């Protein structure tokens, strides 16, 4: 067959397979399998670390929830847990310090403003 001045040969199109050394091909296949196993191992290690981190976080949150349940049970009985008292007095002290800081700033502003 002639098309456009070129002779076409019947058969398969595309590149013809070059004669590849069978040993080299097997070695490439083995290397690829080794790399695949290494990637899989790393992926599983990453996932295991992720799971263990989440499990630790869950345990910490459960402990915190139990603590809050105990506090609520104590408050239902009319008792205020010492931890809550400490939190409240800490907040009051923090507020007092903030108010003192505000007063000190306003005092400095007044002193600076009154001096011409």
In order along its 116 residues, the chain shows pLDDT tens digits of 555 555 556 666 666 666 668 888 899 999 999 999 999 999 999 999 999 999 999 999 999 999 999 999 999 999 888 888 888 888 777 777 777 777 777 765 555 555 44
Residue 10 main-chain phi, psi, to 5 deg: -70, 150
d(CA 36, CA 40): 6
DSSP 55-106: HHHHHHHHHHHHHHHHHHHHHHTT---HHHHHHHHHHHHHHHHHHHHHHHHH
Which residue has 């191992």 as its token pair?
A: 41
> What is the model's pLDDT at position 116?
43
The domain ranges of the chain are 22-92
Long-range interactions of 26-33: CB distance < 8 A, separation 24+: none
d(CA 44, CA 50): 10
Q: Which whole-number Å values give the CA distances from 94 to 19, 67, 84, in the listed order?
A: 82, 24, 15
């Amino acid at each position: 067959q002639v098309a456009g001045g070129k002779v076409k040969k019947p058969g398969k199109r595309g590149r013809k397979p070059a004669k590849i050394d069978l040993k080299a091909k097997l070695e490439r296949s083995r290397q690829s399998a080794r790399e695949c196993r290494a990637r899989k191992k790393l992926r599983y290690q990453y996932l295991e670390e992720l799971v263990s981190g989440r499990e630790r976080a869950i345990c910490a949150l459960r402990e915190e929830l139990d603590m809050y349940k105990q506090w609520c049970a104590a408050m239902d009985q009319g008792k205020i847990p010492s931890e809550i008292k400490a939190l409240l007095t800490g907040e009051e002290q923090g507020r007092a310090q903030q108010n003192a800081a505000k007063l000190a700033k306003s005092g400095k502003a007044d002193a600076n403003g009154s001096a011409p």
